[in-house]
Structure 1
Amino acid sequence: MSEIIETAATKATRREWIGLLILSIACLIYSMDLSVLFLAIPSIVRDLDPSATQLLWINDIYGFMVAGFLVTMGTLGDRIGRRKVLLIGAFFFAAASIFAAFARTADMLILARALLGIAGATIAPSTLSLVVNLFRDEGERNRAISIWGTAFALGGLIGPLIGGVLLQYFHWGSVFLINVPIMALLLATAPFLLPEYKDDNAGRLDLLSVALSLLTVLPVVYGFKKMAADGFSSEQLLPIALGLVVGWIFVRRQKTLEHPMIDLALFRIPAFAASLLVNLAGVFFIFGIFLFQNLFFQLVVGLTPLEAALWSIPSSLVFTIMSFQAWRVTNRFGPVRTVLAGLLVNALGTGLMAIAAWHSSLVGVLASSMIMGIGFVHVILTTTGLIVGTAPPERAGSASAISETSAEFGGALGVAILGSLATVFYRFGMAKADLNGLAPTDAAAVTTTLGSAIDIARKTGNEAAPWLATARDSYAGGFAICCLLACVTLLALAAIAQRVYARAHIDESRMGQH
């Protein structure tokens, strides 16, 4: 190791906590860049006049690149140093932000967003692995991971707010320029606050494995995102199948390498594998259900986008507050009981949301989402700590990248699969709707999605038509069934996790009582 990592639990000093603050601010900016662009889209459309395809790539290319390069950057950090990778990424993140802010064509902005995504992929795994190595005491580590998670929650919460203020008074490029001073601060302070960590015995990075990992992740994420955006079609299975085949080749290659890009032995650690599964499932359901919730507010309840955003603030605040306080629960009850209790609370929230959605209750959906937030935050942050904490210290970067990649996959899968399932239930509910009087093309559109049904109702002056009420009920019913499925799955997952953690014999005696 480049530094001797003490095995005894060593209390953190002011230096470590200030370092955590700098890392958390970088994570906040990374998270903001996932959401801040949405508000700028109308201004970008007026200024750059992108085609529909270009607009799609402006929106999605950042997330694609982040997902594709997480494993590579996490593994690279283990080999050449996590601080070094973070600083290189911060420099290019700032440079790409300037490039994006002053883009003069849609293609230039797409390229800038792609570069931002590649640079952004250094931030999540590098910061998490550095946090784990900075805080050797279990109790302090849990608190630090909670603060790290809070930064991501805050980024998603305040990103649109900051973006809205900037767009009110400045050019749309200002939403990218806010990244520059933060990354400059990271570059100036990290060499003094953050020790370097790497595995001196890791060997060289296998470039073929890098290429195979990209060809595994990118097609799968792309296929599921297209499925979520356009509805299911057999064509979308082609990139997913390609990614799975390449993924099989990637795994086979890792088994033959002396220094693999991903240490497959990590998956033989019961606590690591169980925590990864729980983490993925938690993100899977929360992303899918919250997509339903936002559409439910607008399409079923009839709120404007601004009203829907305002009604979503309470649940966002619950997520943020719980992220900051999660360490207290983990330190008091231990990671295993925290994860299991969080799964049960999350299951309760999804069960209540199923009832609320079935009855089209705005207040019920809001209350249920806040209950889900209480359970979800503890599950995600605690399993994240277990994923990285159960891995050997020299593999923390790789473990962090696996954790973040799992979250990316979970979110994409949740939106795509639950979205497709809800569409099936919607079409089933609309099969018996009386659409007499509508043109054949309009009738076909009405039975496809609720959004199309509302648009047709407005264009044809049928906003009081019985079939529109049926459409809203069908959407709410699909929403409810997906929530019920989530409830049952989370309960089953809690039972499985309890058995796996019991066999893993996790030593919780070192948990600090803070």
Structure 2
Amino acid sequence: MLPVLLVSVDNTVLAFALPEISAALQPTATQQLWIVDIYPLVLAGLLVPMGSLGDRIGRRRLLLVGATGFAAISAAAACAPSAEWLVAARGALGIFGAMLMPSTMSLLRNIFLDAGQRRLAIAIWASCFAAGAALGPVVGGFLLEHAWWGAAFLLAVPVLIPLLVLAPIFVPESKDPSPGRIDVVSIALSMLAMAPIVFAVKEFAHDGFGPVVAVAAAIGVAATVTFVRRQLGRPDPMLDVRLFTVPTFSGAVAVNLLSVMSLVGFLFFVSQHLQLVIGQSPMQAGLSLVPGLAVMVVAGMSVVAVVRWVQPSAVVVAGLLASASGYALVFLFASPTAVTPIIVAFAVLGAGIGAAETLSNDLIVSSVPATKAGAASAVSETAYEIGAVLGTAVLGSILTASYRTHLELPAGLDAGRTEAARQTLGGAHAVAETLPTGSADALLAAAGEAFDSGVTITSLVGVVLMVVSAVVAWRTLSEHRNDGPHGEAEMV
């Protein structure tokens, strides 16, 4: 659980450290973008190859290699003397991070053979994501108040050293007894498939459609088609793409992607609303989200007992509809100055996603042979990564477009300030700091109203996403029955 907790905390901490990183290293706008984006691009491209590599050489061995590299590079990133150094370090962290996540879930699949125990283990695994997301803003706020920005990266060292000491003692090794040959071409195609697509989505969200987006998307699609054809033609594919013809597997992957997209999109606008509209500090905003994340953990743990009597597909569908209700509450009841409706809405959404994600991850790893657990886990992690990118890109773009459309600026602003205020809510706050009190108050009020109009539209999109996800789950997961007398899942 240690690497899962670390990766979840690390994702949130970086966002809070960016202002201090910018002040210390003076990156250009392009360099700052790459500091953020290089990690998920490399990670997304390598998850499937690393999951397959773990099946081959041993999941525990790959986990330890990844942990060693991640800790060492994190220390190097903390001491980065320049923006270029930090970009390179973040890219290397993506390589070693791709070794960590598929290894953890595939190890659970092979350690816990009893279906009930496995489901509980995966519930705890998923809970560590929620706990890390809750700790990230709090820990990040504390560190940045008492230390320099590099402390955000040094978090990895005390977390991973116990893993390196204890994992060889307590975690048994497992791997595919009959692995295929290493396929360098498939590894390259996997990276060419995933990284350009993720990049295209991010660029589209930031700058709109253009030649760069079109070329990146075309490269990604062409590489994906070539990758699939190569896997179908090989007797020992790196990833058995025929798994996607299994409704339970493909449906659970789709549920993962849409759920994470919805969750990340929610956090994207709520974190800004709490800090820039309501006026909370980063640490206060993080604490406001803790109740919802706690509910997410409890819901994920509770469904382990519930599915003894209720079909997993019914629980997943109910969870996704509950998440839709959380978005609906934001649309119906949230006000610009009220924190309680946001907390309640996030708790409802978190309960639904906690229940759905635990079971969808369990269905992914249990619907494939244990020897292929690494590759299946990597597909699940890839769905997480793409869902997170889409959550920020799609929902964030909708929110930004609505903000710009509805923003009515007070008179008297010059062209530079007008453009800065129209870009983002944060830009409006930066402009307000340069204005007299009356003009600043008028600008902040207008920006808050425009932002909340975007939240309304984004919430409706979130409701639609969760309903679509529920329909997908109902159509694809209904073939999956509860555990049979021998503990393994039965199919009809």
State the TM-score, normalized to the length of structure 1: 0.85
Which shifted more, 356-365 or 401-410?
356-365
CA distance in 1, matches of 2:30, 2:409: 36
Q: Shift of residue 169 of structure 1?
A: 5.2
Aligned partners of 2:289 and 2:346 also within 8 Å: no
Say if 1:34 and 1:63, in contact at 8 Å, map to a contact too.
no
1:232–1:420 contact (8 Å) kept in structure 2: no
Q: Which residue in 2 is equivalent to 1:363?
A: 340
2:434 matched to 1:459? yes
Question: Aligned residue for 2:469?
Answer: 493
Instruction: Tell me, yes or no, if structure 1 residue 506 matches structure 2 residue 442.
Output: no
Deviations 1:417-467 (A, max 9, x none): 11212233334434xx476544455445544444444444443432343x7
1:244 aligned onto 2:217: no
SS at the partner of 2:178? Answer: coil
CA distance in structure 1 between the partners assigned to 2:435 and 2:166 by the alignment: 61
Residue equivalent to 2:160: 183
TM superposition shift of 1:278: 1.1
CA distance in 1, matches of 2:207, 2:258: 22
Distance, in Å, in 1 between the alignment partners of 2:197 and 2:482 is: 37
- CA distance in structure 2 between the partners assigned to 1:192 and 1:509 by the alignment: 33
Task: Report deviation, 1:330.
Answer: 3.8
Q: Give the counterpart letter for 1:25 in structure 2.
A: L
Q: Does 1:35 align with 2:9?
A: no
- 1:282 partnered with 2:280: no
Matched, 1:25 2:35: no
Distance 1:468 1:151, change over 3 A: closer
The gaps in structure 2 that reach 5 residues or longer are: 488-492
In structure 1, stretches of 5+ residues that fail to align are: 1-23
Match of residue 454 from structure 2: 478
Q: 1:28 to 1:135 in 2, by over 3 A?
A: same
Residue number among 241, 263, 270 corresponding to 2:240 in the alignment = 263
Structure 2 residue corresponding to 1:221, chosen from 198, 209, 223: 198
Which of 64-73 and 37-46 deviates more? 37-46
2:78 maps to 1:101? yes
- Indicate whether 1:410 and 2:410 are aligned: no
Is the CA contact (8 Å cut-off) linking 1:139 and 1:511 kept in structure 2? no
Residue 15 of structure 1 aligns with which residue? none
**Equivalent pair of 1:77/1:126 in contact (CA under 8 Å):** yes
Distance verdict in 2 for CA 1:404–1:172, change over 3 Å = same
Q: 1:249 corresponds to which letter in structure 2?
A: T
Which region of structure 1 is more displaced relative to structure 2, 421-430 or 265-274?
Answer: 421-430
> Residue 161 of structure 1: CA displacement?
3.5
**Relative to 1, partners in 2 of residues 1:184 and 1:360: Cα closer, same or farther, differing over 3 Å?**
closer
Classify 1:286/1:265 alpha carbon distance in 2 versus 1 (closer, same or farther; 3 Å): same
One-letter amino acid matched to 2:477: Y
DSSP 3-state at the match of 1:333: coil
The amino acid that maps onto 1:409 is: I
Distance 2:471 2:322 in 1: 14
**Percent identical residues:** 39
Q: Which shifted more, 121-130 or 291-300?
A: 291-300
Q: Deviations over 1:346-378 (max 9, x none)?
A: 111111111134777432222111110010111
In 2, Cα distance between the equivalents of 1:464 and 1:109?
A: 38
Letter in 1 for 2:475: R
Residues 277 and 39 of structure 1: CA distance in aligned 2, closer, same or farther (over 3 Å): closer
> Normalization by structure 2: what TM-score?
0.89
* Aligned pairs for 1:53-452 within 5 A: 53-166=30-143, 172-228=149-205, 230-235=206-211, 237-238=213-214, 239-357=216-334, 361-430=338-407, 433=408, 436-452=411-427
Residues 1:361 and 1:37: Cα distance change in structure 2 (over 3 Å): closer
- Decide whether the 8 Å contact of 1:358 with 1:477 is kept in 2: no
Shifted more, 173-182 versus 272-281: the winner is 173-182
Q: CA RMSD in A?
A: 2.8
Counterpart code for 1:190 = A
Deviations 1:301-341 (CA, angstroms, capped at 9, x unpaired): 34344443332332233334444444333445342222011
Which string of whole-angstrom CA distances, capped at 9 and with x for unpartnered residues, describes residues 57-84 of structure 1?
3333333322221111101112222122
- Displacement of 1:274 after TM fit? 0.9
The one-letter code matched in structure 2 to 1:472 is G
> Which amino acid in 1 is paired with 2:286?
A
Cα deviations by residue, 1:68-118 (Å, 9 ceiling, x for unpaired): 211111011122221221122122223223333343333333322222221
Give the Cα–Cα distance (whole angstroms) in 2 for the partners of residues 302 and 469 of structure 1.
Answer: 12
